[in-house]
Amino acid sequence: MTNLLTTINRKKIPLAWLQLTREKTRLAVALAGIAFADILMFMQLGFRDALYYSNVRLHTSLQGDIVLLNRQSNAVLSMKGFSQRRLYKALELPSVQSVHPIYLDYSVWKNPDTGKTRSILVFGINPETNVFNLPGVQENLDKLKLSDTVLFDRSSRQEYGPIAKYFEQGKNVTAEVRRRQVKVVGLFTLGASFGADGNLITSDVNFLRLFPIRRQGLIDIGLIRLKPGANANAVAQELRNYLPQDVNVLTKQEFIDFERNYWSSSTAIGFIFTLGTIMGFIVGTVIVYQILYTEVTDHLSEYATLKAIGYTHKYLLGVILQEALILALIGYIPGWAFTMFMYQTARNATLLPVFMSFERAVTVLILTFVMCVVSGTIAVRKLNSADPADIF
C-alpha cells in the first residue's frame, strides 16, 4: 500500500503506466491482443478498398466525360450490349465533341507454356483513337490494326504465363484465345481485379473475330467526349431526355460510383469485409476489457483505500481510462507494422492494390482508441464495489 501511495506522488510517472507495467506478462498479452485486433481490421479494410479500387481502375482510365450503358447492365462483370446508334445519336448535341464505342467480353486464354486455360477480359476499341489513359496503350495502337494482334496486361496473374517476360526479351509471343491464334504486339498496365485476373486490348475488328457470335455495332460501353467548357452533368441530363430510355447515361464519376456500389451492395464480398472489421473491433474490445477488469479486480483493495483517503471515483475512472488509451496507442504500433508486411505479401500473391492509406491508418487508430475506451468504461464499473469498509 505504501508503494502504491508513493507512486501517486510521482507526478512524472502516471499511475496508469505504473499499474500496467507492474505485470509485464499481462501487458504483453494485452498489447498482442490489441495488435491482433488492429491487424484484423486493417486487413479487412485493406481488402475491401482493394476490391473497390481494382474494379474501378478501368473506369478511372477512360478518357471521356460521359458513359452510355445498357440499362440492364449491372457492372463490368455483367454487361449487356446496346446499339451504337444510340451513341452516334449523341453527336447531334452541340456540346458533344466525339463518341467512341467499346466492346468488352470474357474469353478463354490458353497458357502457351502449360496449355492450361483461364478466363481473361478482352476490350475491343477503334485503334484510331486511344480511349484508355493506361501506360503502354497509346504507343501500341497502330500495331492493333494488324489482324489477330493484342496488347497484354503486364499486371495479369502468373497463371497466364510469362508473357511480359518473353515479350521484353524480344521473343515472338503468340497464344490461343478462344481457339484463335493471336500475337502479342505490346504490353500495357491495368492490373488484376476481383472481376478479372487478366486483360487484353485489341481492335474492334479483331474483337469481332474473337467473338464471332457478337453482332457488329452491339457495343458494351459508349464513351462521349465533350467540347472544352461543357458541363458534364448538364449534358448528361440533356442526353437522358434526348436518348431512348433503354440506355443509362452516366458521367464518368457516376460510372465509377455505379461500379463501386455494385460491389459494395449487390455482392456478398463488400458485406463480408465490413463484417470482418466489426468482428475485429469486438474481439479487441473483449480482450482489453478482460485485461482491465482483471487489473481492477486485483487492486480493488488499493482502490478502496484511495477512496478512503479522499480520491474521488472520477479520479479512479481517469486512471483506468488512461490505461486504456496507453494500451491503444502502444498496441497500435506493432499492429500497423505487421500489417505493412501483410499488405506486401498479399500484394505479391494476388496482384491486387492492397496498400496502406493515411485515411485507413487514422480510421483504425480511432477505432482502437474507441475500442479501448469502451472496454475501460465497462471495466470501471467494478470500482463501484470498491468500498473502503472492505479493507478493515
DSSP letter string over 359-377? HHHHHHHHHHHHHHHHHHH
Counting residues of the chain whose pLDDT is more than 70, the rounded percentage is 93
Name the amino acid, one letter, at 335: G
Quick one: pLDDT band at residue 89, thresholds 50, 70, 90?
A: very high
Name the amino acid, one letter, at 334: P
Cα 261 to chain center, whole Å? 13
Domain ranges of the chain: 2-55+268-391, 72-245
| pTM of the predicted model as reported, rounded to 2 decimal places | 0.78
Per-residue model confidence as pLDDT tens digits over 245-298: 999 999 999 999 999 888 887 777 778 888 888 888 888 888 888 877 777 777
Q: What is the predicted pLDDT for the residue at 266? A: 75
**What average pLDDT score do residues 44-49 get?**
87
> What's the rounded Cα separation, in Å, for the pair 336 and 42?
8
In terms of phi and psi (left: phi > 0; alpha: psi -120 to 50; beta: otherwise), the region of 120 is: beta
Quick one: pLDDT band at residue 10, thresholds 50, 70, 90?
A: very low
Quick one: pLDDT band at residue 153, thresholds 50, 70, 90?
A: very high
Least confident of 150-164, 302-316, 365-379: 302-316
> What's the rounded Cα separation, in Å, for the pair 93 and 323?
66
- DSSP element (H, E) containing 337: helix 313-350
Q: What is the predicted pLDDT for the residue at 384? A: 65
Residues 6+ apart with CB under 8 A from 128: 141
Here the cell at position 40 is: 484484423
> What's the rounded Cα separation, in Å, for the pair 200 and 192?
11
> What's the rounded Cα separation, in Å, for the pair 68 and 331?
49
Kindly report the average pLDDT of the chain as a whole number. 86
